[in-house]
A and B are shown apart, each in its own frame.
Chain A
Amino acid sequence: MLELRLVQGSLLKKVLEAIRELVNDANFDCSATGFSLQAMDSSHVALVALLLRSEGFEHYRCDRNLSMGMNLNNMAKMLRCAGNDDIITIKADDGSDTVTFMFESPNQDKIADFEMKLMDIDSEHLGIPDAEYHAIVRMPSAEFARICKDLSSIGDTVVISVTKEGVKFSTAGDIGTANIVCRQNKTVDKPEEATVIEMQEPVSLTFALRYMNSFTKATPLSETVTISLSSELPVVVEYKIADMGYIRFYLAPKIEE
């Protein structure tokens, strides 16, 4: 028996919108820790890891560990039927091949339930080692989204370079080149507007902008984004989800052949 009641149902709606472009089908894993997902994109260069901790749910019952295979586009279709202020409850019985999403309006005058078929998904689970990153950049998520969008109109890849001076996003294409430098800026009115760079050593890596743009679909989840870089390691683009957890995107760097 599984019953997860999320008062801020809009968070789940936003999570689905953030990942459904990257991943078609995925297993949601439910355990005492929380509701989580790990899935790779079809070309195996990007990975999404989601955690919504059990403490973030108003009611969290998970009698035994359960893995539920879902088509994310179908799940998003159902969750779009929930109002932004609705409370969402996810329910499943042991051994069932369906999951139920229940939507309650804030004043309880409308209650809807949507039952979705589950699917068997053979997913690879990757062990992600803890890494020491050469540079960690925290910046406003909207700014990062704007940069990725702007650069993708010029080129296909972005070079992210971190130095003491700041973080530089560069691209090149048929029509020309573009460089955007964001300097460390801690003296702002609100902490979420700051750009903060923690650098052990300079790092410069190249990534496909198509994936970066896909990651920025998570922008509505968090006002800030954290980009962790190390030479020859996948970049981690992390959006914190309120007090509940995170959504992390890993992307392998491009290498010269």
Chain B
Amino acid sequence: TSKQQKLSSFFSHK
């Protein structure tokens, strides 16, 4: 199985 990563792990919160 594979899971989708969350974008917050790539992009910082402003």
A157 & B2 in contact (Cβ 8 Å cutoff): yes
Chain B facing A: main interface SS? mixed
Q: Mark B1-13, 1 if CB is under 8 A from A, else 0.
A: 1111111111111
Q: List, in ascending order, chain B residues with CB within 8 A of A47's CB.
A: 7, 11
- Distance, CA A110 to CA B14, complexed state (A): 43
Q: List, in ascending order, chain B residues with CB within 8 A of A44's CB.
A: 6-8
Q: List, in ascending order, chain A residues with CB within 8 A of B2's CB.
A: 157, 206, 254-257
Q: List, in ascending order, chain B residues with CB within 8 A of A252's CB.
A: 4-7, 9-10
Which residue, B2, B7, B12, B13, has most C-beta atoms of chain A within 10 A? B7
Q: List, in ascending order, chain B residues with CB within 8 A of A165's CB.
A: none
A95 within 8 A of B: no
Cβ of A155 to closest chain B Cβ, rounded Å: 12
A126 within 8 A of B: yes
B3 & A254 in contact (Cβ 8 Å cutoff): yes
A4 within 8 A of B: no
B13 & A234 in contact (Cβ 8 Å cutoff): no
Q: List, in ascending order, chain B residues with CB within 8 A of A208's CB.
A: 4
- Distance, CA A46 to CA B5, complexed state (A): 10
B4 & A233 in contact (Cβ 8 Å cutoff): no
Q: Restricting to A101-150, which residues have a CB under 8 Å from any CB of B?
A: 124-129
A128 & B11 in contact (Cβ 8 Å cutoff): yes
Q: Restricting to A9-58, which residues have a CB under 8 Å from any CB of B?
A: 40, 43-47
Contact among B4, B5, B6, B12 with A127 in the assembled complex (CB-CB below 8 Å): B12
Q: List, in ascending order, chain A residues with CB within 8 A of B11's CB.
A: 47, 126-129, 234, 250
A127 & B7 in contact (Cβ 8 Å cutoff): no
Q: List, in ascending order, chain A residues with CB within 8 A of B13's CB.
A: 124-127
- Distance, CA A129 to CA B11, complexed state (A): 7
Which residue, B10, B13, B14, has most C-beta atoms of chain A within 10 A? B10
Q: List, in ascending order, chain A residues with CB within 8 A of B1's CB.
A: 256-257
Cβ of A158 to closest chain B Cβ, rounded Å: 12
A83 within 8 A of B: no
A166 within 8 A of B: no
Cβ of B11 to closest chain A Cβ, rounded Å: 4
Point out residues on A near B: beta carbons under 8 Å: 40, 43-47, 124-129, 157, 206, 208, 233-234, 250, 252-257
Point out residues on B near A: beta carbons under 8 Å: 1-14
